[in-house]
Chain A
């Protein structure tokens, strides 16, 4: 197409970029392949690159209260996300973690409290302005029949397009290419999204969110429908984005072990409130797990860091006559 500019350097792949940054990135890549090939043991590095005190808070929830109808599900949550950190919301079913994420992503409007992005209330800002900084990967996606990967990802540019612009400009296509490169979907570019496997499909929707160029990415249980291989693949990709592009990430994850392994901080939710929040190593205690999930668990030190081993729900032994 005529509006493409060959040879624009700033978005090239790690493979062709020279200099120290590239070799760092290559290490990351190698690290990533090592995970799937030689097992996870080498990949774990405590990702403490963004210590809470070092960064600046870019995304905050202040006393958020609300629910779907009249009844409140979330009863006042305060939360602050530091630029470049990965925070995971965990909690039992019905604890309100997905609902809370819907408040953070502007899908629902809280009945009280505010959500601030760069110190501005996202529910009052122009939606397009918010969408340029905040992207969402919903849990379940609607798949328009026949839409190709490239068409899907290019829709991620729409918050950056003026309403009269019919077709993406050169820099817009560049961002689309970049997103496809990151998610390793270039060869799928012209395939219909509906033909892809679950893992590839999830990557395609992640590429759409990346094309939005967000500061903050919200993901609602991104690994739910994936097998263990694709779960790790997706989370490793997110870790690369988190570390190399200092993308701030908030995920909702069911799997507490995956949450522990990848996030900087955990926010444990219980009955619509925040039970505990802090660095994973600090909040991952048997007492917290019992309070939040109502299970007895032991914490194990494994090659990938701390992991939990649930023993039994505490009631079963005591309830027997």
Chain B
């Protein structure tokens, strides 16, 4: 009666090994994140030593140091972490759902919708206060339109979704370019900074406004991992496994839209993070989305915090979107090269 299963099944003991394989990337990413956060808090026009940083954290340092740390650097770092993790997660969700490695959080027309509204607001001369809300509304509105166009007879096909995203992006992008050409010189500058994406001057106001939405959406996004795994098997098999294609695509799209729209409203159109981070994460942990999704959130936070640190380390501060694109594009090319030489992406 008592038969040893390991005798029948020599590979049973190998399953914890797979778990161990995820611990190393987790420690590496979170260790890197802690380091980058510490660097970001210490580094700047006024550099803090380790001791000064520690005293400021405890609130026992000089007033200047405490103000710099708590009111300037910490909220900005938090904003970078939130925006980065939501872009990473949204990109991973969409790449998984659309079974397409080229999908980015902005594929569903989010960037074009948000950009158009922001350029309109800037053109009219309303600035600052309404931009985050306007960007959010434009992003969500466009994503809803894209979904509406892609939906036919209670079916939602991946191809239609991608195509309608491209259609709306092109259309709104064209109007946006036209408006930019027509607007006054000073305003173009302001609109461009937003369009490229920047974390300059983000403070507690932005962070405290959006963090609950980010927290809920990131949690929801990670809970959708099993759905994404099943969708990656193809429409027929996913249906056979009891998944409603329409419902799960709506849910995944909704969560990704909320994440990306939130990121856009805080930091503008920060490119490449949502595209590259999931690819890098898949190299680290494989294709199981139960791992890919949380790791993409973690990786996105690390990448954007690093990029922001680089962006404000130069003699003049760059928009963080420039850094992610300039550094992201070569990384993407390298990933593609690895893939063609037999690497697994």
A residues with a Cβ closer than 8 A to B are 1, 4, 6-9, 12-13, 16, 102, 105-107, 126-132, 134-136, 138, 140-142, 144-147, 150-152, 155-156, 158-159, 161, 163-164, 166, 177, 181, 186-187, 189-190, 192, 205, 208-209, 212, 218
Contact = CB atoms under 8 A, between A and B. Distances in A.
Interface pairs A-B: 4 shortest CB-CB: A131-B242, A142-B234, A136-B240, A138-B236
Given A142-B99, A155-B233, A190-B11, A7 B2 contact: yes
Given A144-B232, A145-B344, A138 B240 contact: yes
Contact of B236 (A107, A129, A145, A147): A107
A159 B12 contact: no
Interface of B: 1-6, 8-9, 11-12, 14-16, 19, 99, 223, 225-226, 229-230, 232-237, 239-244, 282, 286-288, 290, 344-345
B3 A147 contact: no
A155 B218 CA distance: 23
B3 A144 contact: no
A318 B282 CA distance: 62
A12 B2 CA distance: 11
A186 B11 contact: yes
Q: Choose among B1, B223, B233, B344 the residue with the greatest number of A CB atoms under 10 Å from its CB.
A: B233
14 contacts: A1-B19, A4-B12, A6-B6, A7-B5, A8-B5, A12-B3, A127-B242, A140-B234, A142-B99, A145-B345, A152-B233, A155-B233, A158-B241, A159-B242
Contact of A189 (B1, B2, B11, B236): B11
Given A6-B6, A146-B344, A155-B233, 20 more contacts: A4-B12, A7-B3, A12-B3, A102-B236, A107-B235, A107-B236, A127-B242, A138-B236, A138-B240, A140-B234, A141-B233, A145-B345, A156-B241, A158-B226, A158-B241, A159-B242, A181-B8, A186-B9, A208-B237, A209-B240
Given A1-B16, A9-B1, A147 B241 contact: no
Given A187-B11, A189-B11, A131 B240 contact: yes
Given A144-B232, A146-B282, A146-B286, A155 B242 contact: no
Contact of A147 (B2, B5, B239, B287): B287
Contact of A159 (B19, B241, B287): B241
A127 B243 contact: yes
Contacts of B286: 146
A154 B11 CA distance: 15
A156 B225 CA distance: 15
Contacts of B230: 155, 158
Contacts of A212: 241
Contact of A146 (B4, B5, B287): B287
A248 to B, nearest CB: 15
Nearest to B154: A109
B113 to A, nearest CB: 30
A151 B5 CA distance: 20
B241 A7 contact: no
B100 to A, nearest CB: 12
A215 B56 CA distance: 66
Contacts of B344: 145-146, 192
Nearest to A160: B242
